[in-house]
Chains A and B, each alone.
Chain A
Amino acid sequence: MIGARHPLVQLTLARFREFARQPETVFWVFAFPLLLAIALGIAFRNRPPDRVRIAIQAGAGADSLAARLAGARDLRVAVLDPAAAAAQLRTGRVALVVVPGDPVVYRFDSTRTESHLARLVTDDELQRAYGRRDPQAIREVKITEKGARYIDFLLPGLLGMNLMGTGLWGVGFAVVSMRVRKLLKRLLASPMRRSHLLLSFALARLATVVLEVAVLVAFGMAVFGVPLRGSVVSLAIVALLGALTFSGIGLLVASRAQTEEGVSGLMNVVMLPMYVLSGSFFSSSNFPDLMQPFIKALPLTALNDALRAVMLDGSSLAALGLPLAILAAWMVVSFAVALRIFRWL
């Protein structure tokens, strides 16, 4: 029976106390992701798209073109002399320049999304103004769907990123600091079981993870109305698996490092690629197809995918076989390797 005097309980309590008594870690774990969510949620809040800015090059026929486009709701039109029009197009202040004549010429950069949009809108307005009629009647229905906004995409990503950061720092940094202080050596001189020490790191993480996830998800639901469509149990299991995986990776990173500076560098090497590639802030599908298998194999990608599936799509665990298997594989391998190469003294 495990009572309060059991070494595992005492070790876990010690880990937890050290964490809770460090104001800076409490900030990074709890306050920082909330602030990030607020800032990004406001910056990328949903609003009607800006009107597209285009220019008409001054010259014969420019005024009549301007008159025909005057009624277009989605366009802001200015008549500019050729040099000014070219300069504004080059610097992106207008998305497209219309040169009057026959044929009418559109000058624009086809690789820019905005210019592409400007071409479609301008052409549509102009053709109608010249008398084109739509052969098929269309009715528009406008909706705002919760779950499809940027904040909905962002929040699970922040959660994943936070689980990675606290797992790596919380375990990795603490282990190295104990080694530097010769505290690991002192513990080894007692009859403490080594497995108890390692387990205590994982257990203390579990306690903080529950808080970490609850705070961020509750905040997202209350402030931004981010949905939680899957079950709380599924979310908890995915988050715990993610936390344990990154604890294992933290242990691996810390297994031989002899200085705190050394382990900090290693952690950044491990985390930076995942910050960029794993789809915390923007979808990882933006990267070329060639990189996709590699990106999918990263633990943070798997965790983010699984968290989004549970929160936004309401997926059950059964539907998340692949990402959960990837996480579990990372966890088992990193713990196993870490134990094998771990330096105690």
Chain B
Amino acid sequence: MPSPAISCRGLVKRYKDVVAVAGLDLEVRAGECFGLLGPNGAGKTTTVEILEGLLQPDEGTVEILGMRWATHERAIRERIGVQLQETKLADKLTVAEIVRLFRSFYRRGREVEEVLEIVQLTEKRRAWVSKLSGGQRQRLAIACALVSDPDILFLDEPTTGLDPQSRRQLWDVVAAFRARGGSVVLTTHYMDEAERLCDRVAVVDHGRTIAFGTPKELIASLGAEHVIEFALADGQAPPEAALRALPGVHEVRLDAGRTSLSVEELHSSLPAVIDELERHGLGMTELVTHHATLEDLFLHLTGRHLRDA
């Protein structure tokens, strides 16, 4: 097996009285896209910035491409590409000028025009940053990260606040980078993004990994791959115990007037649920079914939704 792109053991980072990262172990394989998933404040950004050598961990070790930050800082920097959350590039410089500036920091790398082509900003090459849309700025930030032709690309919530089309464009850029054999570390609190882009995911909460695996494995670990959600007329209470006793139902959850059930098989459980509600004389006002997602996993693990956690 090839050596890992990143491995870190026992990372701890404290800020005054808050523990941002509480003993994290990670291993990112060469060529994979690794997702750090979790709500805001879970410690994702702190973890990524430790991996990027911008923050010093209080405890633990980090190896990037087999090298340590303390001894090989410049060599590591030459080989990673970084996009930070909330960086605002200089307003009055043009797209091409900024990418050229970043290119100048690296010994080897790709041509400015080539990178602009990849992130689809060729037409905007003479535009000032202040004139770009949110999605274009984010693609410019990624162009700055790609211009060194890195082995590892770090993306910290790259699509937060972007419209669906911009998100999809960004995903294409990530896919193209991976097609060249690059490794990606991605943080996000969008489940669909993680399921779509990531080979493996670590779900993080309060600075700890609470689940780890491929998105498929993680969802399968719920033991119930389907979710039935319904609401009852007039806010009536569902017969929780009776529902839980139905065959194939793993979990019953009440949340803001809605009931959600994790079930193994839709075709057997759904009729049973409807029968049961009828037996209690309860009328459904809404019914939704969907495949279980990482969102359901997070809910299962923490009892909280990702977005409002």
Contacts and interface: CB of A to CB of B under 8 A. Distances in A.
A259 B144 CA distance: 26
B106 interface: yes
Interface stretch (A17-25, A47-55, A204-212): A17-25
Interface stretch (B85-93, B157-165, B194-202, B266-274): B85-93
B100 interface: yes
B87 A186 contact: yes
Residue of B77, B90, B97 with most partner-chain A CB within 10 A: B90
Given A14-B97, A14-B101, A189 B92 contact: no
A73 interface: no
B230 interface: no
Nearest to A174: B90
B190 to A, nearest CB: 22
Interface stretch (A1-9, A230-238, A283-291): A1-9
B133 interface: no
Size class of B's contact patch? Answer: 20 to 34
Nearest to A192: B105
B182 to A, nearest CB: 17
B82 A18 contact: no
A190 B107 CA distance: 11
A39 B199 CA distance: 70
Contact of A10 (B52, B92, B101): B101
A186 B86 CA distance: 10
Of B74, B78, B87, B106, which is in contact with the most chain A CB atoms at under 10 Å from its CB?
A: B87
Given A185-B54, A189-B77, A190-B106, A17 B92 contact: yes
A190 B100 CA distance: 13
Contacts of B92: 17-18, 21-22
B104 A9 contact: yes
B84 interface: yes
A7 B97 contact: no
User: Which label, helix, strand, loop or mixed, suits the secondary structure of the A interface?
Assistant: helix
Interface string B62-82: 000000000000100110101
A27 to B, nearest CB: 15
Nearest to A180: B88
Interface string B126-139: 00100000000000
Given A14-B101, A17-B92, A191 B82 contact: no
Contacts of B102: 190
A132 interface: no
Given A7-B104, A14-B97, A191-B106, A182 B88 contact: yes
A7 B74 CA distance: 15
A211 to B, nearest CB: 18
A182 B86 contact: yes
A189 B52 contact: yes
A178 B65 CA distance: 30
A190 B54 contact: no
Contacts of B103: 5
A14 B93 contact: yes
B77 A10 contact: no
B44 to A, nearest CB: 16
A18 B97 CA distance: 11
B104 A186 contact: no
A271 interface: no
Contact of B87 (A22, A181, A191): A181
A328 interface: no
Interface in B93-134: 93, 97-98, 100-107, 128
A148 interface: no
A186 B101 contact: no
Query: What 10 A-B pairs have minimum CB-CB distances, sorted nearest first?
Result: A191-B77, A181-B88, A10-B104, A189-B82, A21-B92, A7-B104, A192-B105, A190-B105, A186-B87, A182-B87
Given A183-B89, A191-B105, 8 more contacts: A22-B92, A183-B87, A186-B84, A189-B53, A190-B105, A191-B78, A191-B107, A345-B54
23 contacts: A7-B101, A7-B104, A10-B104, A13-B97, A14-B90, A14-B93, A17-B92, A17-B93, A18-B93, A181-B87, A182-B84, A182-B87, A182-B88, A183-B90, A185-B87, A186-B84, A186-B89, A186-B144, A188-B54, A189-B54, A190-B102, A190-B105, A190-B106
